[in-house]
Each structure stands twice: as structure tokens, then as C-alpha cells.
Amino acid sequence: MSKSKQQEADAATGLSEESDNEVGDFIREQRERANLSLRRLAERAGVSNPYLSQIERGIRNPSAEILKRLSRALEISAETLYTRAGLIEDGPAAPTVVEAIESDRNLTPRQKQVVLDLYRALVEAGAAADEASE
């Protein structure tokens, strides 16, 4: 239910920028994608849950240290997060999926093969569907 209260919070703190809350939105997005509750992510990242809440809503401006911890807890690269936060100008080169999987240390060669097979299959199917529909 609770949905639109962000603006009030902004006004309350005197924060004049309600325009683009890139980091907060991005963090919340990633958090929900990973199926983590706010509290759980906060604990994983080693920050307090109210603070994380405020970060996500853009009424607090987290330090780089905090961003780093959050990026680790979310399993995304700090560069991506910083870029999103507008702290780095150019975007980091997006690694290809294949490349990333190849160099991953958490998967055995066999497992890599499985993921790669799935990925390639989807891409191929998707491309076909794409051409047909688009």
C-alpha cells in the first residue's frame, strides 16, 4: 500500500533536489531483484536499516564507504554503483556475459558450460523472436 510519501520526506529535510534520485532507486531496484528485505541488505552491508531506507528514498547522501559496502552486499561492482550515483563520469565498459562467466571463480568449468548453454540458447531464441516481432 504505502506508496507516495517520498516528496514529503524531501521537504521535511529541506532537500531541494527531488528531481533524480538515481542511486536510491537503483539500490532499491537491485535489492528487490535479489529478493532481499531492506533489513537484510542493511545487515549484509553493515549499515543500519533506517539509514538504508533513507538512502533508497534519496533523503540521505551516502559516503563512498557505504556505497562500497552496499555494492558488495548487492553483488554488483562498485563502479556501476558510483556511475549510477553520478560519481564517475564515464560508464565502465560493460563486460560481455560470456566473458564474465568464463572468468568467474565461483563456477566450475562444467557449471560454466551449463550457464553458457542456457545463455546462448536464450539469445538465439530471443534473436529469432525479435526479428519476427520487430
Partner DNA sequence: AGCTTCCGCTTGCAATTGTTAGCAGCTTGC
Partner DNA sequence: GCAAGCTGCTAACAATTGCAAGCGGAAGCT
Query: Which residues would be at the binding site for a copy of itself (CB under 8 A)?
Result: 61, 63-65, 67-68, 71-72, 75-80, 82, 85, 87-108, 110-111, 114-115, 118-119, 122-123, 126-127, 130, 134
Residues that bind DNA (CB under 7 A): 1-2, 5, 8-9, 12, 14, 37-40, 46-51, 53-54, 56-57, 60-63, 65-66
**Of a copy of itself, DNA, none, which one sits near residue 76, judging by CB under 5 to 8 A according to partner kind?**
a copy of itself
Burial of 41 (0-12, 13-18, 19+ CB in 10 A): buried
What is the maximum span of the chain, computed from C-alpha positions, in angstroms? 55
